[in-house]
Structure 1
Amino acid sequence: MKKNVLSLMVAATLLTARLTAQVGINTANPQGVFSVDGAKDNPATGTPTATQQLNDFSVTPAGNVGIGNVAPAARLDIVGDTFGIKKSQGSGSWDNFWINLSDSQAPAIIASGADAGLQFKVGVNTTGTYGNGQTLTTVATMTPAGNVGIGVAAPTDRLDVNGKVRVRTISPVTDNTTVNPVYTDTNGVLVKTSAGETFGSVVSNQSASIASGATGTLISGLPNRGIYKAVIIVGDGCAHTTIGEFRVICNAFNGYFGIRGVTGLLSSSDTKAPSFTETNKATTGVTWPGNILCQDGGDSTALDYTLTMPNASTINITNNGNVPRSYRIILTKYN
């Protein structure tokens, strides 16, 4: 009986020793609780070099698994250039998903054989495992044609969005910069009027304050052969605001450029409209008969001005009022 007890105690001790020992395959120097040295190139002692580790497989006491890495810092820590998943052993260059890190400046995620596109799906409940029982929503799709769909399983355009689009930040353009509007066709696709047209483009510039009787450049650098609707806005310290509308042709050929007043509005007067004096094809004087005095020192002439075009690309303004004023011009292009 004593002999049997002694034998059991020895067996238990040996079993415990084996269970708590590190296990190494192709190496007498295991780096974790389980280590495989695929090329049998690890040193007898110490830590293998980075090159030697590339053919190693290691499991740490924490349960982390390393491939090409004997000290994995995550549940699965892989070192290498290419990592892939095949649907089956018969798969060749199709029906597989892989990551290529060979170019450190441009790593790639590749889905071969994804004829209908690579889809990203999200589940909305907590039932099931690996999608079983989950309600999955396709939130994005990328097709081999380069189309990206958001909320669309089969995008037909470079960016195909089903739903509202919100842009949180838009950079404003600098002064005297042309911006072109976009429209939507019957399918909701964004379009311009046509490839060769710039109808509806807007050019704006905020001028500096111009002293009484002085002349300054309101805008310059307008493209040759452009035809515009120009709106000029000027106000005073008493919230009186005027909007004058003009037509402008910018054609340098034979000096065929000009400006002409069309209509306008004075916010504080029943008279409303301005009076235009068309001195010549490139000069238009503007007076506001209904303007009244303002506490900023402006008299009835304080909002009056004259527009001149010294050349096809420039519009100057002369302040005909008795106090300094700031003017703003907005141009909408017709062609």
Structure 2
Amino acid sequence: MKKSIILFCLCTSAFYYSQVGIGTTNPQAVLHVDGAKDNAVTGAPTATQAANDFVVTSTGNVGIGNVDPQRSLDVDAKNQSLRVRNLIRQVPMSYDILTRDIATSDVVATSYSYTEAVTVAAGASATVTVPATVNIATGLFIVKSINGCNRAMITSFVYNGLSLGYVSGVARDKIGNPTIAPIPTSANTSGTWSVTFSNVTNCADGGTGTQFDFTVVKPTADSYTITNNGNIAKTYQLTVSRL
């Protein structure tokens, strides 16, 4: 009986600390599946042999196509695309894209755009600061607003750091008229752009021909200050996105 207990303990210990191999007698991780059953009985498999392997390490890393995963999921795609089926489709105001680092092959979430809405009274200003995590140093800056007649104003700029350049502006059928003010010698900002839209149709909410006029400036590389030069409060949707 005593010998049986000792044998049971030894077997239990071996079970808890052993590696499991499926298709191989030479597992390289806690769980190692050799899909083609082509690994050698000793030593680490070659890159060709590992290409059909699946492993789970003691730290929880999963390797597909390699037996030494360095990330939670480490896949050797064999110069092929990856397929993910039946993803839900969403169109959020701000979203990320997945990008791959050429040097390390790491896949990370990268901000594609960021949107924030502010409501500004006539003659007042508001500042929007883009979070540092968004990190779009160069891109497109868009100002959008809708009036009481359900007509949209869309004005676009390109930017790089503190440089801000006007591209185009339209309020339905009215073309934007941009002017830029010189940057004071002591200032560390972008140029200040003023955009007007002549003869915009009056609306029932009190908006007159000046209702879409505004001024915008970048006081810092990550912020925008917009001033409502119209005669009525406006909600502006400010968006930065990658070019």
Identity %: 17
What are the ranges of 5 or more consecutive residues in structure 2 without an aligned counterpart?
40-44, 56-62, 184-190
- What do you get for the CA RMSD once the two structures are aligned? 4.5
Q: 1:213 aligns to what?
A: 123
- Which of 206, 209, 219 lines up with 1:297 in the alignment? 206
CA–CA distance in structure 2, aligned partners of residues 79 and 303 of structure 1: 73
Assess if the C-alpha contact under 8 Å between 2:158 and 2:166 holds in 1: yes
Q: 2:9 aligns to what?
A: 54
Q: Give CA-to-partner distance per residue, 1:255-313, whole Å, 9 cap, x none.
A: xx44342212223x3x3x21112233511111122521222332222111111233454
CA–CA distance in structure 2, aligned partners of residues 221 and 144 of structure 1: 39
Q: 2:53 aligns to what?
A: 118
Q: 1:245 aligns to what?
A: 156
Call closer, same or farther: CA 1:204–1:240 in 2, change over 3 Å. Answer: same
1:215 maps to amino acid: S
CA–CA distance in structure 1, aligned partners of residues 84 and 121 of structure 2: 48
Call closer, same or farther: CA 1:258–1:280 in 2, change over 3 Å. Answer: farther
Note if 1:323 corresponds to 2:236: no
TM-score of the superposition, structure 2-length normalised?
0.61
Cα distance, 1:239 vs structure 2: 1.7
CA–CA distance in structure 2, aligned partners of residues 277 and 83 of structure 1: 71
The SS at the match of 2:149 is coil
Note if 1:230 corresponds to 2:141: yes
Q: 2:18 aligns to what?
A: 82
Higher relative contact order (CA 8 A, sep 6+): 2
Note if 1:143 corresponds to 2:66: yes
Structure of larger gyration radius: 1
Assess if the C-alpha contact under 8 Å between 1:283 and 1:308 holds in 2: yes
CA–CA distance in structure 2, aligned partners of residues 181 and 143 of structure 1: 22
Cα distance, 1:141 vs structure 2: 5.6
1:82 maps to amino acid: S
**Count of aligned pairs between the two proteins:** 204
What are the ranges of 5 or more consecutive residues in structure 1 without an aligned counterpart?
1-26, 28-36, 42-50, 56-66, 69-77, 88-94, 101-107, 121-139, 150-154, 183-189, 251-256
Assess if the C-alpha contact under 8 Å between 1:54 and 1:80 holds in 2: no
Q: Give CA-to-partner distance per residue, 1:53-83, whole Å, 9 cap, x none.
A: 436xxxxxxxxxxx75xxxxxxxxx964326
- Which of 179, 183, 192 lines up with 1:283 in the alignment? 192
Q: 2:187 aligns to what?
A: none
Call closer, same or farther: CA 1:85–1:168 in 2, change over 3 Å. Answer: same
Q: 1:74 aligns to what?
A: none
Q: Give CA-to-partner distance per residue, 1:185-216, whole Å, 9 cap, x none.
A: xxxxx677xx9xxxx97452313211111011
CA–CA distance in structure 2, aligned partners of residues 84 and 333 of structure 1: 47
